Amino acid sequence: MQTDENKLTTADIFVPNQLLQFLGIQADEAAFSDMLKKQIECNAVVLQVGIDKGEEVLHSTNAAATFSLVNELFELAVPAVRRFNGMIDCFLENGFQALFTKSREDGVRAAIQIRENILQRKYIYEDRVTVGLAYGPVSVGVIGFEDRVSPITMSMHTSIARFLQKKAGEYHAHILLTGTLLESISDYATLYGHRPLGLFYRESEKKEERIYDLFDGDAPAARQTKRKTKQLFEKGMHVFLERDFVKARGFFIEVLKADRSDTAARKYLSLCDGFLLAPPSESIRSLCLERM
């Protein structure tokens, strides 16, 4: 439905009104050609939430159940984004991406709130809902053709957030975020329950990035165990990066004695065993857990 020639309503263009306002676009008066000229470059927290291995999980159910489960996830997660001043950028097959431009802490709080909402509702896939967070420059604009346009955020940080969201489950985590984000928040060490997971390698910039597991998003029992083993895990990671794989192996064994389900500790243990047999190269890249 178009109001005037070359004019589109918000319903026509499927662009959230909040995002239009952020771009300085008046939805009811927006000409198509004008929308395509609007872009903003800024620093933002990029949050991506989704169901870990959601394609496998959701495709194993019928269509009605699939849509119901995804919409229930949105019902639980979107209010947390809005509560902390976030903007929904786009919906994905089993999740969505949001931007936080006012405060870096807003994005972190929203991630924790999403997980709290999931746990309180006892969402059927509560253990599979994961969040990835990154921070840095983004370009936000509108793309399209003829009578259909869509918002888009272009940034390597959207890819990083998506990578972390997909990897969280492999590392016994529900929220993974970059050190660039977490370490930029004053008093983060006392504000949030977290543990440094290790180094991931950023291929686009050819440098390593410290990644954190924000375990405030875990169930209470898991949070308690991670607090209990945090010092052991951190010591293990520290000596691992110093290439003392024998000592690191001992620390991670102790972590696993307390929690056999800690797949991050198990990953390190496997790496230690491998490096004792075949030492890694001198490059710090060889000690990174992932390449993203």
Q: How many CB atoms lie within 10 A of CB 86?
A: 24
Question: What integer pLDDT is reported at residue 4 of this predicted model?
Answer: 46
Count of CB atoms within 10 A of residue 287's CB? 19
**CA dist list (Å): 104 to 14, 107, 146, 180, 182:** 27, 6, 36, 11, 8
- Report the C-alpha gap between 272 and 248 in whole angstroms: 7
pLDDT at 85: 96
Q: What is the DSSP letter of 289?
A: S
Instruction: Chunk the chain into consecutive blocks of 10 residues (it has 292) and report each block's average pLDDT, rounded to whole numbers.
Output: 47 62 70 76 97 77 85 95 94 92 97 97 92 97 79 93 97 98 97 98 93 98 97 98 98 98 98 97 94 92
Q: How many CB atoms lie within 10 A of CB 63?
A: 9
pTM for the predicted model, two decimal places: 0.91
**Cβ 230 vs Cβ 195: under 8 Å:** yes
pLDDT at 214: 98
Taking the CA atoms of 81, 188, 202 and 259 in sequence, report the sign of the dihedral they define: negative
| C-alpha to C-alpha distances, 160 to 45, 82, 141, 164, 184, nearest whole angstrom | 11, 22, 19, 6, 17
The predicted structure's pLDDT at residue 10: 47
Domains and CATH numbers, the chain: 10-217 (3.30.70.1230), 219-292 (no CATH)
- What are the tokens at 178? 């970059």
Q: Are residues 133 and 113 in contact, defined by beta-carbon separation less than 8 angstroms?
A: no
